[in-house]
């Protein structure tokens, strides 16, 4: 067997017995099969070739040209390789102007810093999300190596898939106990400088929401000079605002920022967040921020705009709003979509103070692009617009300055065009150095105490809360008037076929032609008649607009029950009186996808997408990520349709019969590999609990497991080629739970096979499980460290539960537990 080569973190490639084998830390990784398909061994059996490029040598495992995060995600999503240039890049960026403090470090470094600092606890909720069962918050220093590794992986964007913006926000929330811990702030600054210096970056601007708080400013002014002297990296910060903040909140932050204008540490503001609103929604904030440029020339106002195609006016409106303020340095973060020729010309004319920041790896990771053809980078450069490359959070996305250059080359930049980016960087660095000379040295300025809030006062906060409460009250009253039922719990489907409709709403629907409306009406009418014959349920958004309103009328005609998924912010006047059953599933429209898609997946339903914009595109990505079945109706327009066509993994249908066929086909995503029996091992582990009763070791299966997703089950998994079932049981137990036992203590219980005990069983392929059992040492009543049990492989978490009070288990595992306990009692 050859030594392993790591081309992608978490994936080891070996050459053994005349074939390539790819091992993955996470058995769910979509990269494993794709790597096996596209990696080949070069002549002589020593080199590893990807896309025609030699990327590694087995004889020299340290000599590896790893796949970039951009390549890895593209391969996982499209199952075809995109090979980027290897070796030293043609151009090495010296700046990272677009990055976020909370995403700058990889999860591995955050966990290392937390473990090294006394008094840093990891919340139980974060451990559970990482697949680590804990009864309480745990000091980071007490986590063992396996737990730290799993926790670190849970803090980064996966390399084997695209995710939605909401998924990314959950990652930031999971990171917050580390990134917002006061004891870790300065250690993080040191680590960020080390990472940037290693990448060749000399100047970086990081977004940080707390940048103008007194304690943060004090730490920055005490640290930044020393950091620059020791690392060669100059860090500066932008005060982060959200596109969705209350106006009053932002105005108070800007008032505080005005107090801090003499600070070298804070150089501007960053208006960021999910681009689900128009730039017009926060123009007063932009104008107030830009006015600060009069007092401090070169003050940065960055707007995240054009990251997705939902609001094509966003870049244009940001440019129009900010160009009239001559003192401000305007930045457009992302700028992928919606730039017309006039706006492009205005940007080029003001290239001395307007810069567009491209962040290609994050754009791919967050489902905003599917191919490099969607990136207008070359168009910007050729028009004379000032452009730079940013990481958007090198640690979070697994990228680097050099990797962003490689991605830019894939988007059409040659050496001459990259040289223009270099000139832009050099000009920026020179100007910034000159302007800083007019400000007091870092150590000679102290933060003034914050002034009382003038805008977001307690009275105004109460008024805003009352307004939101009024929306909820009006919604409740309208539901009562309609005589409709509403629940906030996940509705029971009771085995009935479930069809989820997601598509064009209001503005997107208004843009359809009469022919498109007729096509959708015809197909949907036939589908709903078929759903009625099956006794099925239609799941929609519950409002009277767009495809939802159209479908409700057709559902009434067909006699189909409608379940309307609404959110707390749904306006009363939008509710459709033809819907009699509502599910209030989230706070806002942009948080709705996760619970809806999970219901569809768990009910083995089908999603039908009909056009739509950004929100529908996110819903489709969520369905793909957690393996909920879905199809797209062809012949319709919308940003979601464009994204689906580019993604290459969406099934388009033309006729109602195809939709009904897909609805009836409830085969799970997970498929068995081999005709005939597919050998697996399941393990029953029992111990004496702290209360004196017997406890059983169980796992909770991942939400996107191929079978029994999200259910509790015994630990276990498939037997690998050449492996005995007993050895497979030992391996799976260790991988999924962290419990290590010798093979000799495993007692055979039974062998069970086929018969539909596993939902993946067919007449051609079935699971044959070898069941083992063992009893291990018990746990002391005060043993908290021993309560930590790892999840892994198909396990999202693992834990001991009472044998008598255990939950209902997946597959036939309750029967297997009973048989195993009977066998153990005779030992």
Cα→Cα distances 171→165, 166, 479, 502, Å: 10, 9, 35, 26
Three-state DSSP class for 476?
helix
Number of domains in the chain: 4
Strands 694-701 and 95-100, by their bridges, are: unpaired
Strands, E assignment, 60-208:
60-64, 95-100, 121-122, 132-133, 138-139, 203-208
CATH number of residue 475's parent domain = 3.40.50.450
Residue 278's domain comprises 95-106+156-444
pLDDT recorded at residue 27: 64
Q: Are strands 765-776 and 747-753 parallel, antiparallel or unpaired?
A: antiparallel
Q: Residue 205 phi/psi, 5° resolution?
A: -115, 125
* Statement to judge: residues 647 and 708 lie in one domain: no
Q: If you average pLDDT over residues 653-663, what whole number do you get? A: 91
pLDDT at 334 over 80: yes
Is residue 379 within 8 Å of 344, Cβ to Cβ? Answer: yes
Any domain includes 80: no
pLDDT at 744 over 90: yes
Both structure tokens of 635 = 């012949």
Q: Which CATH number belongs to the domain containing residue 801 in this structure?
A: 3.90.79.10
Residue 726 lies in a domain: yes
Taking residues 526-551, report their average pLDDT.
Answer: 96
- Are 654 and 701 part of one and the same domain? no
CB atoms within 10 A of CB 168: 21
- Using alpha carbons only, how large is the chain's radius of gyration in Å? 28
Claim to verify: residue 686 and residue 728 sit in the same structural domain = yes
Which pLDDT belongs to residue 788? 37
Are 225 and 442 a contacting pair, CB within 8 Å?
Answer: yes
Range name among 144-158, 226-240, 801-815 with the lowest pLDDT average:
801-815
pLDDT > 80? residue 368: yes
Report yes or no on 438 lying in a domain: yes
Q: How many residues does the chain have?
A: 827
pLDDT at 745: 94
- Answer yes or no: is 816 within a domain: yes
Last residue of a domain, one of 664, 690, 719: 664
User: Residue 38 burial (CB < 10 Å; 0-12/13-18/19+)?
Assistant: middle
Q: Give yes or no: residues 436 and 472 share one domain.
A: no
What share of the chain in percent tops pLDDT 70?
Answer: 95
Unique residue bearing structure tokens 């306990």: 821
Predicted local distance difference test score (pLDDT) of residue 793? 46
Do 502 and 435 lie in one domain? The reply is no
Between strands 138-139 and 203-208, the pairing is unpaired
* 3-state SS, one letter per residue, for 165-176: HHHHHHHHHHHH
- Specify the pLDDT at position 626: 72
Q: Check residue 96 and give its pLDDT.
A: 97
The verdict on residue 119 lying in a domain is no
> Can you tell me the distance from the alpha carbon of 607 to that of 624, in angstroms, rounded to the nearest whole number?
10
Terminal CA-to-CA distance of the chain, rounded, Å?
40
Long-range CB contacts for residues 135-141, cutoff 8 Å, separation at least 24? 135/784, 135/787, 136/784, 138/784, 138/788, 140/111, 140/114, 140/115, 141/115, 141/116
> Stretch 688-692: mean pLDDT, rounded?
81
List the single range of 64-78, 111-125, 487-501 with lowest mean pLDDT.
Answer: 64-78
- Domain match, 264 and 413 both: yes
Q: Flag whether 112 is in a domain.
A: no
Per residue in 19-59, pLDDT (tens digit) is 788 888 876 677 887 888 889 888 777 888 888 888 988 88
Tell whether 480 and 580 lie within a shared domain.
yes
Looking at the chain, the whole-number percentage of residues with pLDDT higher than 90 is: 61
Q: In which residue are the tokens 């008032």 written?
A: 255
Q: Per residue in 165-206, pLDDT tens? A: 889 999 999 999 999 999 999 999 999 999 999 999 999 999
Q: What does each C-alpha distance from 726 to 680, 683, 742, 744, 757 come to in angstroms?
A: 10, 10, 10, 9, 21
d(CA 218, CA 255): 18
Residues facing residue 770 across a β-bridge: 681, 751
**Is the same domain home to 402 and 509?**
no
Q: Is 770 part of a structural domain of the chain? A: yes
State the chain's mean pLDDT as an integer: 89
Query: Comparing C-alpha atoms, which of 63, 13, 18 is closest to residue 39?
Result: 13
Residue 191 is predicted with a pLDDT of 98
Q: What is the pLDDT of residues 560-600, one digit of tens each?
A: 999 999 999 999 999 999 999 999 998 888 778 888 998 99
pLDDT at 648: 59
CB contact at 8 A, 141 and 118: yes
Q: Where are the alpha helices (DSSP H) in 233-340?
A: 247-259, 283-291, 314-322
Question: What's the pLDDT at 370?
Answer: 82
In this structure, is residue 429 part of a structural domain? yes
User: CA–CA separation, 411 vs 545, rounded Å?
Assistant: 39
Residue with tokens 């440019």, as numbered in its chain: 319
296: left (phi over 0), alpha (psi -120 to 50) or beta: beta
Instruction: Report which of residues 240 and 340 the model is more confident about.
Output: 240
The residues, any chain, with a CB within 8 Å of residue 124's CB and separated by 6 or more, are: 134, 135, 136, 137, 138
Q: What is the pLDDT of residue 786?
A: 38
> What pLDDT was estimated at residue 780?
44
Average pLDDT over residues 57-69: 86
Lowest mean pLDDT among 116-125, 216-225, 517-526, 775-784: 775-784
CA distances from 658 to 257, 611, 631 (A): 58, 17, 9
Give the integer Cα–Cα distance in Å for 155 and 175.
Answer: 6
Considering the domain architecture, whether residues 342 and 376 belong to the same structural domain is answered as yes
User: In which element (H, E) is residue 537 found?
Assistant: strand 537-540
Q: How far is CA 127 from CA 138, 142, 169, 230, 683, in A?
A: 9, 13, 17, 35, 24
Q: What integer pLDDT is reported at residue 785 of this predicted model?
A: 33
Question: For 254-262, what is the mean pLDDT?
Answer: 95
Confidence bin at 702 (pLDDT 50/70/90): low
Does 724 lie in the same domain as 595? no
Task: State the SS3 of 623-674.
Answer: HHHCCCCEEEECCCCCHHHHHHHHHCCCCEECCHHHHHHHHHCCCCCCCCCC
Asked if 797 contacts 130 with a C-beta cutoff of 8 angstroms, the reply is no
What's 173's domain CATH number? 3.20.20.140
| Same domain? 223 vs 358 | yes
Q: Does residue 20 share a domain with residue 100?
A: no
Give CA 803 to chain center in angstroms: 36
């Amino acid at each position: 067997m050859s030594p392993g080569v790591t081309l992608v973190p978490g994936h080891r490639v070996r050459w053994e017995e005349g074939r390539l084998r790819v091992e993955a830390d996470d058995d769910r990784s979509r990269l494993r099969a794709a790597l096996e398909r596209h990696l080949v061994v070069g002549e002589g059996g020593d080199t590893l070739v990807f896309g025609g490029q030699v990327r590694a040598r087995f004889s020299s495992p340290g000599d590896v040209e790893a796949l970039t995060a951009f390549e890895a995600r593209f391969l996982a999503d499209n199952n075809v390789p995109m090979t980027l240039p290897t070796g030293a890049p043609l151009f090495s960026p010296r700046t990272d102007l677009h990055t976020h403090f909370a995403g700058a470090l990889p999860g591995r470094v955050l966990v290392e810093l937390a473990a090294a600092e006394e008094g840093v606890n990891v919340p139980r909720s974060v451990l559970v999300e990482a697949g680590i069962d804990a009864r309480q918050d745990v000091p980071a220093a007490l986590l063992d190596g396996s737990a730290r590794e799993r926790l670190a992986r849970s803090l980064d964007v996966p390399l084997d898939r695209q995710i939605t913006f909401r998924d990314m926000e959950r990652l930031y929330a999971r990171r917050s106990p580390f990134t917002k811990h006061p004891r870790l702030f300065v250690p993080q600054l040191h680590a960020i400088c080390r990472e940037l210096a290693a990448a060749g970056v000399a100047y970086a601007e990081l977004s940080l929401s707390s940048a103008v708080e007194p304690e943060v400013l004090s730490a920055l002014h005490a640290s930044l000079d020393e950091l620059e002297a020791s690392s060669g990296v100059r860090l500066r910060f932008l005060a982060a605002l959200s596109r969705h903040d209350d106006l009053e909140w932002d105005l108070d932050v800007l008032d505080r920022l005005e107090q801090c204008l003499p600070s070298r540490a804070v150089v501007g503001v960053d208006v960021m967040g999910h681009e689900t609103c128009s730039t017009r929604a926060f123009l007063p904030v932009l104008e107030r921020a830009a006015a600060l440029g009069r007092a401090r020339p070169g003050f940065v106002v960055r707007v995240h705009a054009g990251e997705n195609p939902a609001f094509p006016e966003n870049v244009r409106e940001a440019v129009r709003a900010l160009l009239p303020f001559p003192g401000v340095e305007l930045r457009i973060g992302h700028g992928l979509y919606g730039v017309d020729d006039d706006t492009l010309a205005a940007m080029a004319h003001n290239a001395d103070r307007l810069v567009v920041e491209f962040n290609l790896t994050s754009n791919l990771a967050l489902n905003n692009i599917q191919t490099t053809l969607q990136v207008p980078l070359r168009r910007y450069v050729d028009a004379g617009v000032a452009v730079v490359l940013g990481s958007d959070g090198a640690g979070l996305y697994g990228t680097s300055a050099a990797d962003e250059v490689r991605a830019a080359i894939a988007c059409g930049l040659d050496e001459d065009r990259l040289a223009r980016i270099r000139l832009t960087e050099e000009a920026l660095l020179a100007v910034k150095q000159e302007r800083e000379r007019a400000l007091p040295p870092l150590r000679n300025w102290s933060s003034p105490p914050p002034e009382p809030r003038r805008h977001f006062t307690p009275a105004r906060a109460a008024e805003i809360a009352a307004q939101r409460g009024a929306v909820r009250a009006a919604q409740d009253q309208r539901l009562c008037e309609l005589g409709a039922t509403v629940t906030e719990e996940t509705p029971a489907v009771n085995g009935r076929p479930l069809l989820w409709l997601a598509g064009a709403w209001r503005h997107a629907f208004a843009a359809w032609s009469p022919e498109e409306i007729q096509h959708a009406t015809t197909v949907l009418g036939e589908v709903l008649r078929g759903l009625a014959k099956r006794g099925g349920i239609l799941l929609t958004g519950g409002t009277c607009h767009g495809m939802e309103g159209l479908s409700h009328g057709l559902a009434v005609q067909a006699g189909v029950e409608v379940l309307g998924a609404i959110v707390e912010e749904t306006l009363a006047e939008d509710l459709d009186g033809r819907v009699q059953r509502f599910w209030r599933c989230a706070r806002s429209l942009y948080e709705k996808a996760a619970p809806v898609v999970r219901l569809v997946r768990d009910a083995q339903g089908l999603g039908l997408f009909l056009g739509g914009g950004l929100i529908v595109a996110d819903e489709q990505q969520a369905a793909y990520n957690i393996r909920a079945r879905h199809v797209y109706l062809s012949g319709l327009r919308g940003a979601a349709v464009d994204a689906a066509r580019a993604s290459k993994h969406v099934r388009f249908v033309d006729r109602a019969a195809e939709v009904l066929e897909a609805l009836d086909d409830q085969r799970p995503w997970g498929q068995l590999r081999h005709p005939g029996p597919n050998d697996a091992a399941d393990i029953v582990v029992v111990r004496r609990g702290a209360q004196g009763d017997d406890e059983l070791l169980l796992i909770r299966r991942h939400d996107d497991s191929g079978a029994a997703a999200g259910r509790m089950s015994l630990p276990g998994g498939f037997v690998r080629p050449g492996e005995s079932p007993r050895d497979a049981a030992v391996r799976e137990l260790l991988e999924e739970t962290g419990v290590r036992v010798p093979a000799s203590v495993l007692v055979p219980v039974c062998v069970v096979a086929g018969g539909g005990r596993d939902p993946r069983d067919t007449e051609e392929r079935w699971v044959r499980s070898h069941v083992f059992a063992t009893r291990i040492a018990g746990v002391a009543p005060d043993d908290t460290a021993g309560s930590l049990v790892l999840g892994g492989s198909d396990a999202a978490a693992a834990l001991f539960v009472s044998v008598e009070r255990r939950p209902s288990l997946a597959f036939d595992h309750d029967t297997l537990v009973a048989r195993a306990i009977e066998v153990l009692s005779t030992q």
